[in-house]
Amino acid sequence: MAKPSAISGFPEWLPAQRAVENVVLDTCREVFELHGFGSLETRAVETMADLLRKGEIDKEVYAVKRLHEPAGAITDPGSELALHFDLTVPFARYVVQHAGKLDFPYRRYQMQKVWRGERPQEGRYREFAQVDIDVVGLDTLPFHYDVEVPLVMAEVFERLNALGLPKISIRVNNRKVSEGFYRGVGFTEPTKVLGLVDKLDKIGAEKVGYLLRTQCEATDEMIAQALSLATISGADLSVIDEVLALGVEHPLLTEGLAELSAVLQAADGVLTADFSISRGLDYYTGTVFESTMRGFEHLGSVCSGGRYDSLASDGKTTYPGVGISMGLSRVLGPLFARGYTMNRSVPTCVLVALANDEERPAAEKVASSLRKRGISALVSPTAAKFGKQIKFADKRGIPFVWFITDDGHQVKDIRSGDQTSADRKKWTPPAEDLHPSIILQEN
């Protein structure tokens, strides 16, 4: 085998990085299951026809084909296969396909790889992991799920922050607010307005104003109103008053502000209203979410979602839903590049040292006793000199080395050098040493 090399856009983590990823996945899963979300995995492939329904992304799809597909085996282009590019389209398909066997409202989480043929860049990969939660109803879905879904994800982010990862904040808007407001101001194409206002950060107010004037027939007053809305943000209900103070009126705006105010009230400061969010106007029908990671704002949103009233439907029944999706690799790749890792590269907490090869069965007995009490333990690969065995542990970050001596058993904390006698059936490490923890290693 010649030395193989990486494939651009298909990242692979080193063992300690993968362990960080598992901590994140475990945290997600624990929070989701406490909130009654069940696990789901869908197949990696969908039919090309199902994927290309969302036309704009056709360039990014990876087609999948048996290398020796018999000629003419595929007669129906609808049966051609491709890798899924997100978890929402497969989920919508799964719900419609298995509706008869699901209980609604159906709450699921899904943590899987997805594939897109995009040009790779920081935080953008061709193969990457996503973590989604969604609640879908049968024909109707109460509004309170719009409140619940972002709060569940916020609980995940709070726990991850406590584990040492940067803070991620979720911002919220409501499509009805934006659409109603722009209609109330006098715009006839609110989607177009939002697309232009979205460029505010990049090109500035003056240029956005110029574009609104030339492309949306905006007057000076309309431009001023549009720009005013985009600058309102905050975590408490005063943002609602700020919007009302602009004096614009429209039934959709009133409805949207009521929904948004319900979300903010229940969120109690955890979510921030931000009227510049323009995400997915074609797709979402009410509440929308975006999130940025502190210190990594240049990555853009790392966790987004919203309410969709008509994504999944079989023509007769509609399954309205609300969901939120975290770009896991998008978050982790930049964190790993910055030096986030584990304080050990292996799960092992104790290395049982070997004085000689005959001692292996006795050493295995020690390891087995520790494992029975949930302590990850490993017997030394060879009966090398003790100094070498300690180096073996040190290199991997294993904190404890166990010695079987003539005077009884001893365990050494190789970081402090402290060595004490120990009973294999009773000794336990300090709680913080039982499992590896996340650290930021200066590069």
Residue ranges in 139-158 that form contacts with a second copy under rule CB under 8 A? 142, 144
Of the candidate spans 1-9, 173-181, 196-204, 405-413, the one that interacts with a second copy by CB under 8 A turns out to be 1-9
Of the candidate spans 92-100, 171-179, 189-197, 242-250, the one that interacts with a second copy by CB under 8 A turns out to be 92-100
CA distance 146 to 263: 7
CB-wise, 310 or 405, nearer to a second copy?
310
Of the candidate spans 66-74, 246-254, 284-292, 405-413, the one that interacts with a second copy by CB under 8 A turns out to be 66-74
Of the candidate spans 6-14, 162-170, 185-193, 219-227, the one that interacts with a second copy by CB under 8 A turns out to be 6-14
Q: Is 247 exposed, middle or buried (0-12, 13-18, 19+ CB in 10 A)?
A: exposed
Q: Given the structure tokens 């890792």, which residue do they identify? A: 341
| Site size with a second copy, rule: CB under 8 A | 89
Interface pick for a second copy out of 91, 94, 182, 427 (rule CB under 8 A): 94
Does the protein bind a second copy through residue 241 (CB under 8 A)? no
Strand 350-352, strand 377-379: pairing: parallel
What size, in residues, is the chain?
A: 443
- Residue numbers 298-337 binding a second copy by CB under 8 A: 312-315
CB-wise, 14 or 440, nearer to a second copy?
14
The side-by-side arrangement of strands in the sheet containing 318-327 is: 38-39, 106-115, 127-136, 318-327, 303-313, 287-293, 168-174, 272-274, 233-234
User: Binding string, 20-59, against a second copy, x = CB under 8 A?
Assistant: -xx----------xxxxxxxxxxxxx-xx-x--x----xx
Q: Given the structure tokens 């896991």, which residue do they identify? A: 328
Residue 376 neighbours by CB under 8 Å, 6+ apart:
347, 348, 349, 350, 370, 435
Does the protein bind a second copy through residue 105 (CB under 8 A)? yes
Helix 15-34 to helix 328-338 angle (10° resolution) is 140
H-run or E-run covering 157:
helix 144-162
- Residue numbers 368-427 binding a second copy by CB under 8 A: 371, 374-378, 381-382, 395-396
Give the shortest CB-279-to-a second copy separation in angstroms: 23
- Residue numbers 208-237 binding a second copy by CB under 8 A: none
Interface pick for a second copy out of 54, 117, 224, 437 (rule CB under 8 A): 117
Give the shortest CB-183-to-a second copy separation in angstroms: 30
The dihedral region occupied by 376, where left means phi > 0, alpha psi between -120 and 50, and beta the remainder, is beta
Give the shortest CB-334-to-a second copy separation in angstroms: 18
CA distance 28 to 155: 9
Does the protein bind a second copy through residue 62 (CB under 8 A)? yes
